[in-house]
Structure 1
Amino acid sequence: MLHFSPAKTASVLLTLLIGLWLAAPNLMPASWVKAMPSWLPHKTLTLGLDLQGGSYFLLEIDRNAVIKEQVASLRSQARQILNDNKIRSQAALQGRGILVTLPNPADTEKAVQLLQVLGNPADGNLFGTGNRTATITSSTPGQVSVALTDEGLRDRMTRIVQRSVEIVGNRVNQTGVVEPIIQRQGEDRIVVQLPGLEDPDRFKNLLGQTAKLEFRLVDLSMPVDQAMRTRPPVGSTVLPSADGGQNYLIEDQVMVAGDELTDAQASFDQNTREPVVSFRFNTNGARQFGRVTTENVNKPFAIVLDGKVLSAPVIREPITGGSGQISGSFTTQQAQDLALLLRSGALPAPMTVIQEQTVGPGLGQAAIRAGEMAALVGSLLVVGFMIASYGLFGIIASIAVALNVGMIFGILSLLGATLTLPGIAGIVLTVGIAVDSNVLIYERIREEVRAGRTVLMSLDAGFARALATILDSNITTFIAAAVLYFVGTGAVKGFAVTLGIGIITTVFTAFTVTRLLVSWWYRGVKPRSIPI
């Protein structure tokens, strides 16, 4: 058990060297790391929100807005289906659904059958999975009720949250924040942690905007003041301007949607030198934009963002190149933020920031010092106990533990992980687990010595008989860490990652590395007794 071939010794040492090599950049000044050649390891651990400061946001999807949008979609689709089948109807909103009234009651049964398509799930329909999105019933001739189902709404919310996590991630990543944490929480909430964030107000504004861009025509059939005093024409709505100035009477029909954009960049107008946002459409969007501008020359064309008019320039000539620009008395920062929002895409539903916390760098440094002190004191106590209990073998165990911690930092650096206080707690716990494995080995060796075995046989049997116990204890702990990782969120995941990695390195260092060091000691000293 103590015999190591040259190849095996080289493989153990190479593994240790690689782990420590990967961890080395964490001990170097940042200027040294930047100056290192690209082929050398240069990744370092990123400190989490609780260590270097930053901002924490809890976002909530507007469930009522989702329901309102779904109901409006049901109403529009129901009208279209019935009109296509020559059935006259009227559709009115009714709670979480619509009530379709048919002038001819004889059309009721046919209408119910035609409207069943509205309840088909958005996904999974091919294999019969997924939940019905709406129920279609009729209890009175001439009336058909279409109501959203709880299951369908839950599925819709799940898809919206998943999509929102992606879009929020795109927005945050384009601002240069390092290692943000963006996770779903519950059914309709998203947690965003931004370590090192210096301008939380700007990010709060970015995260809270839906960024739904629409290009619509201005309705010139009635003055906007008259529309506000009486009622806007059917198919038009009065919308405010983004700068709080005049109002506009805007047609409801969206001529070109913002999701047809392929790029948006902040730039400067060549004539006025004011900040603007230049945009470019995809092929379909360019075709629609060219058709609309060709058919509406000399008419104002409104650019609407989240229900507010950014600007309403008059179309002087057809724009067929698939690109254009948005102006609106922007500052440079506002133009950059709007371009960022348009590039990352519109959120599928409005979100609000319901909780916000800012951790200052001072608190982060205090947390770092507290974590370092806890790790240092804990490690010194463990090392002191091992040396007092096992003498030379306690020193060997302490060396193995130090190598273990170095390998943990190397693997975390390689993975680009974020180190948090719970992560530090996982590393400290790993030190205890590693020493526990050495204690098992050394106690087995003591038992063999008491039984009268020779030095070599005692050492060999101690490692061999302790191996099964070490594997059992570490495998069960690793299973617990895996469950914490897949079930937990945030801080729990950070703890589980460091603990899981620490268990793997512990089995290697506490058994293999310790055994190699003991083997070297035995071959070098040729002891007649074991100092344990």
Structure 2
Amino acid sequence: MKIFNYRLIIFALSIVFGVVFAMPSFLQMESGKKINLGLDLQGGLHMLLGVNTDEAVSSKIKTYATSIKYFAEDEEILIDDLSMKNDTIRFMVLDEDELPKVDEMLSTIKGLSIQKPTPLDYVITLTAEEQAIVKDLSVTQAVETIRNRLDQFGLAEPTVIRQGEADIVVELPGIKTIEEERAARELISKPANLELMAVDEDMADQVYSLSPEQAAQYGDIILEQQDDPALKYLVKEIPILNGSQIIDAKVAFDQSNQPIINFTLNSSGARIFGEFTAKSIGKRLAVVLDGKVYSAPNIRERIGGGSGQISGGFTITEAGNVAIALRSGALPASVKLLEKRSVGPSLGADSIQASLLALILGFICVVVFMIVYYRMAGIVANIALITNIFIIVAVMAMFGATLTLPGMAGIVLTVGMAVDANVIITERIRELLKSGTSIGKAIEDGYANAMSAILDANITTLLVAVILYAYGTGPIKGFAVTISIGILASMLTAILGTHGIYEMLLNKIQKSKNTLFWFGVK
């Protein structure tokens, strides 16, 4: 007997691999990597969110206004009436000699539509093409931002995908309580738009007598204190800095042991922050988060190092969520909840039970048929089939894949597909035995003759699975993953594994000459 042929060794290693890495999932062991169950199997939260893409355009314009303001101050260019209204930036250059510098700076910004009612006046908007790009990019950025937040929040395998032009589908497996649902929704929807804004000290004492329209005439806006809406601030509409310059945010505690958030700016933000504070000693700087003033400390000296803090009566949980949102980036536009569905864990348990029942019944039917019809060859095929299932579960567990209900259906379908290659091979061997070919040659030629049919069938199915994964949504992707792994595993077990077993048993088969016992044919 060729007990130690290379095919058998590879097959034995694949069995060991499958058993070792699949057992934590089968036995639900605490140690080891396990398959993550999808929303439809363990319950959770399904949400459809809509992105307000018009806000993204306004935010982009606001960013450009901040850049113009900083450029003018840095180059000591005198401009007047810098304001932003209806997604339009307006300002006047007071010195005609400075116009070339302003024009050169504006020319470096793509997608601007610049009009000049007079030689000194500028009216700036985004072109229609640029607005379309900004809106499309805002949805893409929202998907990545929400995904990053949920990853840092610690949720296992959240699904965040774009749907249509401005909608996002979010699926959160494992959300079981109202508190968990509320925390997840707040984290997802929080804009986390941090702005550092200068308080208008000249007009500050008139904040309670001015209307928003009157404040806008001075280039100001009125904002409320976060924990006391009765307390209001008059701040410059164009912010000094925004959250795009934040590179880190962490929860800390102040001297009274209250949670605060320490943030760090990038090099550009640190330079702007340092220059502004140096020129604004004695004035106040409002720390604004999502349109609410959290604090407005007096600037006593130049603040270097590019760091600051946000305090405002946070709980530890709130501070942690805000820090996560700041680290992962502000949403480019607000999102609203269009649809929400909660899947209970009991429904997931019923789905698992039904799927397992289908898998077990299908498996038993295939095993019994193979033994009755093909005798010992059927037992060899069943060994390969069992190994195939272990390998599928092991590979999915190793990569932390999510198993959904369609994925369970894919495993059930794989049971039938996995035995198909063994049927083709065994039928080829039986045909050769009927024609009088020797047992050894029949086995070798049977595998050789069956190879083209097996490869054609599996490769075409694998290509379809790849297309389903590339263009399908979450559940379809789960189906494609299990089918793909099952196909590759079946080719390993059927083509290599069973061939190695036959090589090991060849002498015994030849001595017995009982082809009816071994292959179910005389």
Same fold (TM over 0.5): yes
Q: CA deviation at 1:504?
A: 0.7
What SS does the aligned partner of 1:184 have? Answer: strand
Partners of 1:279 and 1:248 in 2: CA distance: 23
In structure 1, stretches of 5+ residues that fail to align are 34-41, 103-109, 121-132
Q: Deviation string for 1:322-358 (max 9, x for gaps)? A: 4333221222222222222222221222222322222
Q: CA deviation at 1:510?
A: 1.8
- Residue 130 of structure 1 corresponds to which residue in structure 2? none
- Residue 179 of structure 1 corresponds to which residue in structure 2? 157
Any conservation in 1 of the 2:198–2:286 contact (CA below 8 Å)? Answer: yes
What SS does the aligned partner of 1:254 have? Answer: coil
- Residue 23 of structure 1 corresponds to which residue in structure 2? 22
One of 274, 280, 284 as aligned partner of 1:300: 284
- Residue 125 of structure 1 corresponds to which residue in structure 2? none
User: Counterpart of 2:187 in structure 1: which amino acid?
Assistant: L
Matches within 5 A, 1:92-491: 117=107, 120=110, 133=111, 151-198=129-176, 199-222=180-203, 223=205, 224-228=207-211, 231-232=214-215, 233-243=217-227, 244-271=229-256, 273-320=257-304, 322-491=306-475
Residue 519 in structure 1 maps to residue 506 in structure 2: no
Residues 473, 50 of structure 1: CA spacing in aligned structure 2 closer, same or farther, 3 A cutoff?
same
Percentage identity across paired residues of the two chains: 37
Partners of 1:218 and 1:392 in 2: CA distance: 86
Any conservation in 2 of the 1:419–1:494 contact (CA below 8 Å)? Answer: yes
Superposition RMSD on alpha carbons, in Å?
Answer: 3.9
User: Counterpart of 2:190 in structure 1: which amino acid?
Assistant: Q
User: Counterpart of 1:226 in structure 2: which amino acid?
Assistant: S
Any conservation in 1 of the 2:55–2:332 contact (CA below 8 Å)? Answer: no
- Residue 504 of structure 1 corresponds to which residue in structure 2? 488
One of 55, 58, 77 as aligned partner of 1:68: 58
Partners of 2:59 and 2:272 in 1: CA distance: 24
Q: CA deviation at 1:72?
A: 5.9
Residues 193, 394 of structure 1: CA spacing in aligned structure 2 closer, same or farther, 3 A cutoff?
same
User: Counterpart of 1:192 in structure 2: which amino acid?
Assistant: V
Q: Higher relative contact order by CA 8 Å / sep ≥ 6: 1 or 2?
A: 2
Deviates more, 1:295-304 or 1:90-99: 90-99
Q: Deviation string for 1:195-254 (max 9, x for gaps)? A: 213411111111112111011122233331111287115111112232333222111232
Any conservation in 2 of the 1:426–1:495 contact (CA below 8 Å)? Answer: yes
Partners of 1:115 and 1:217 in 2: CA distance: 24
Partners of 1:404 and 1:459 in 2: CA distance: 22
User: Counterpart of 2:330 in structure 1: which amino acid?
Assistant: A
Residues 297, 115 of structure 1: CA spacing in aligned structure 2 closer, same or farther, 3 A cutoff?
closer
Any conservation in 2 of the 1:81–1:114 contact (CA below 8 Å)? Answer: no
Residues 413, 390 of structure 1: CA spacing in aligned structure 2 closer, same or farther, 3 A cutoff?
same
Any conservation in 2 of the 1:79–1:89 contact (CA below 8 Å)? Answer: no
Q: CA deviation at 1:148?
A: 5.1
Q: CA deviation at 1:181?
A: 2.2
Residues 437, 353 of structure 1: CA spacing in aligned structure 2 closer, same or farther, 3 A cutoff?
same
What SS does the aligned partner of 1:348 have? Answer: coil
What SS does the aligned partner of 1:191 have? Answer: strand
Residues 373, 436 of structure 1: CA spacing in aligned structure 2 closer, same or farther, 3 A cutoff?
same
What SS does the aligned partner of 1:174 have? Answer: helix
User: Counterpart of 1:328 in structure 2: which amino acid?
Assistant: G
Residues 318, 96 of structure 1: CA spacing in aligned structure 2 closer, same or farther, 3 A cutoff?
closer
Deviates more, 1:331-340 or 1:62-71: 62-71
Q: Deviation string for 1:436-470 (max 9, x for gaps)? A: 21221222223223323333333333222111111
- Residue 46 of structure 1 corresponds to which residue in structure 2? 36
Partners of 1:213 and 1:307 in 2: CA distance: 8
Any conservation in 1 of the 2:224–2:293 contact (CA below 8 Å)? Answer: yes
What SS does the aligned partner of 1:240 have? Answer: strand
Aligned length: 504
Any conservation in 1 of the 2:57–2:135 contact (CA below 8 Å)? Answer: no
TM-score of the pair, normalised by structure 2:
0.83
TM-score of the pair, normalised by structure 1:
0.82
Partners of 1:451 and 1:229 in 2: CA distance: 96
Any conservation in 1 of the 2:468–2:476 contact (CA below 8 Å)? Answer: yes
Q: CA deviation at 1:475?
A: 0.7
Residues 94, 294 of structure 1: CA spacing in aligned structure 2 closer, same or farther, 3 A cutoff?
closer
- Residue 129 of structure 1 corresponds to which residue in structure 2? none
Any conservation in 2 of the 1:263–1:281 contact (CA below 8 Å)? Answer: yes
